[in-house]
């Protein structure tokens, strides 16, 4: 199973509720993914994605307040896979993606970090690793902010998935 969580921008008219269509959306080689990441059409989060959710939701995954804070990483309307062992796709409408972009653009990373650091740091080696850990989370925050800003600018929806290898 991959530990990379994918977020992909999709024009709303192209979006389908079909699991087959959604799987095809994520069925490309790494070079195609890298090209979309360079164009801010896709973002790929590493195995820290659950802790990044913690950073934005200020609570363990799926327990954050409603609204954009809990939609940044794991939020969205689920489209369940018929194979119950596979994770659902998560879909944000263009309007929801726009709200997430606004939240990220106006949120101070340092404030988020101060709220989450006591829960996050023990999983990455403790206080002695704070500069490196904080740096990795700050970089992911900048990348997510750029992805959602471009997505909102283009009026697109977002589909998220943790694809199997």
How sure is the predictor about 1, in pLDDT bands with cuts at 50, 70 and 90? Answer: very low
Per-residue pLDDT tens digits for 47-58 = 889 899 889 887
Q: Could you give the CA distance from residue 14 to residue 74 in angstroms, rounded to a whole number?
A: 22
The mean pLDDT of the chain is 86
Q: Is 10 helix (H, G, I), strand (E, B) or coil?
A: strand
Tens digits of per-residue pLDDT, 48-104? 898 998 898 875 555 555 556 678 998 899 999 999 888 899 999 999 999 999 999
Is it the case that residue 32 has pLDDT exceeding 70? no
For β-strands 89-92 and 77-79, DSSP reports them as antiparallel
Digit-coded pLDDT (tens) for 118-155: 999 999 999 999 999 999 999 999 999 999 999 999 99
Contact yes or no for 135/109 (Cβ under 8 A): no
Spatial separation of the C-alpha atoms in residues 15 and 30, rounded to whole Å: 22
Evaluate if residue 36 carries a pLDDT over 80: no
Structure token pair of residue 149: 């800003």
Distance, C-alpha 160 to centroid of its chain: 7
Q: What is the pTM of this model?
A: 0.87
C-alpha–C-alpha distance, residues 65 and 3, integer Å: 25
Whether the pLDDT of residue 3 is over 90: the answer is no
């Amino acid at each position: 199973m991959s530990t990379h969580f994918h977020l992909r921008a999709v024009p709303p008219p192209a979006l389908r509720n079909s699991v087959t269509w959604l799987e095809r959306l994520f069925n490309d080689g790494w070079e195609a993914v890298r090209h979309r990441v360079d164009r801010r059409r896709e973002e790929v989060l590493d195995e820290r994605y659950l802790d990044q959710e913690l950073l934005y939701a200020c609570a363990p995954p799926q327990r954050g307040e409603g609204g954009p804070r809990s939609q940044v990483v794991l939020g969205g309307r689920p489209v369940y896979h018929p194979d119950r062992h596979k994770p659902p796709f998560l879909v944000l409408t263009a309007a929801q993606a726009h709200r997430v972009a606004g939240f990220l653009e106006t949120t101070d990373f340092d404030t988020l970090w101060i709220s989450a650091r006591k829960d996050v740091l023990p999983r990455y080696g403790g206080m002695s690793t704070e500069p490196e850990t904080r740096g990795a989370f700050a970089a992911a925050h900048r990348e997510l902010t750029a992805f959602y800003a471009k997505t909102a600018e283009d009026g697109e929806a977002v589909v998220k998935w943790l694809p199997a290898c």
